[in-house]
Amino acid sequence: MKVVALFLFGLALAAANPSWEEFKGKFGRKYVDLEEERYRLNVFLDNLQYIEEFNKKYESGEVTYNLAINQFSDLTNDEFNSMMKGYKTSLRPKPVAVFTSTDAAPETTEVDWRTKGCVTHVKDQGQCGSCWAFSATGSLEGQHFLKYGELVSLAEQQLVDCAGGIYYNQGCNGGWVNQAFKYIKANGGIDTESSYPYEARDNTCRFNSNSVAATCSGFVSIAQGSESPEVRRTTNTGPISVAIDAAHRSFQSYSSGVYYEPSCSSSQLDHAVLAVGYGSEGGQDFWLVKNSWGTSWGSAGYINMARNRNNNCGIATDASYPTV
């Protein structure tokens, strides 16, 4: 009888909620039992309603971005935040230098470091709070390319497994970008991703000095709170590691457009990402930001975050890049 009930329930879901069936098929969702699926369906339908109502505001010009169903659409916002973050803000190690803007520093209207060949493919941290590791490798990948002309994908898993201890990082439970830079410097380098593949879980350290692909001599912090120094450094230096407040439901379902969230905090930061450029769209200035949630999220893994709007979401609060 239970098998028949499950079969009939499945047919009913398919008939009444084609978007649910499409979602499960696209993202390979399989739930442990009927009760779990019913719960996830209700969460999905709540998110779908939120997305549809939000997009009406986009269509009427009330907001500058829209939302869409993605791999997180069967998660509540609390579940999403507990799984997909990992940036910690309570520790600020001393940098090699602090960059502040100067009037002589040039600034252009648009920069996209992807076109220069120094940004690797969009990666996926999975259900592991390792965003700090992906932001750190992304910034170092760019600096390594700009110095040596070689774009190499670096090993986030090495940072997850090895950059704890005296560096205080906690693997899938979170960490700090600048502490990752300190570890790479002291360790004598970081391996390639191909030699030390990502696993989305904590494991034992297996660093191989024969597979080192990049080194780091320190890092530079960018003056806190002001987007002007960050613009100038992004213009001249390459991709920049940044931290943001990504805790909002709107961020969870972001699809395209310029993301501006009035309720964002400029100090309560929970997610590390990579600023790879900036520009303007429809009169709205934005930062071009590479995320680490795969290409199914956002605009093929990227988001345009509001720029010159009072440091929205704290994008200029804790920015840095490594020196090589």
Q: 291 catalytic, yes or no? A: yes
- At residue 295, the 3 state secondary structure works out as coil
Alpha carbons within 13 A on the beta-carbon side of 214 = 32
Q: 131 catalytic, yes or no? A: yes
288 in Cβ contact with 277 (< 8 Å): yes
290 in Cβ contact with 276 (< 8 Å): yes
CB under 8 Å, gap of 24 or more: what pairs does 202-207 form? 202/160, 202/161, 202/171, 202/172, 203/157, 203/160, 203/161, 204/161, 205/158, 205/161, 205/162, 206/158, 206/161, 207/158, 207/162
Alpha carbons within 13 A on the beta-carbon side of 263 = 6
80 Cα distance to chain centroid: 13
Pairing verdict, β 320-323 and 271-281 = unpaired
- Write down the catalytic residue from 291, 304, 311, 312: 291
- Write down the catalytic residue from 118, 131, 172, 313: 131
- Phi/psi of residue 221, nearest 5 degrees: -90, 150
- Write down the catalytic residue from 118, 162, 187, 271: 271
Rounded CA-CA distance 64/54 in Å is: 11
The CA-atom distances, in angstroms, between 70 and each of 22, 45, 235, 281, 285 are 11, 13, 32, 23, 25
Spatial CA neighbour of 291 closest among 72, 98, 91: 72
- The encoded tokens of residue 53 equal 């109502």
As annotated, the active-site residues are 131, 271, 291
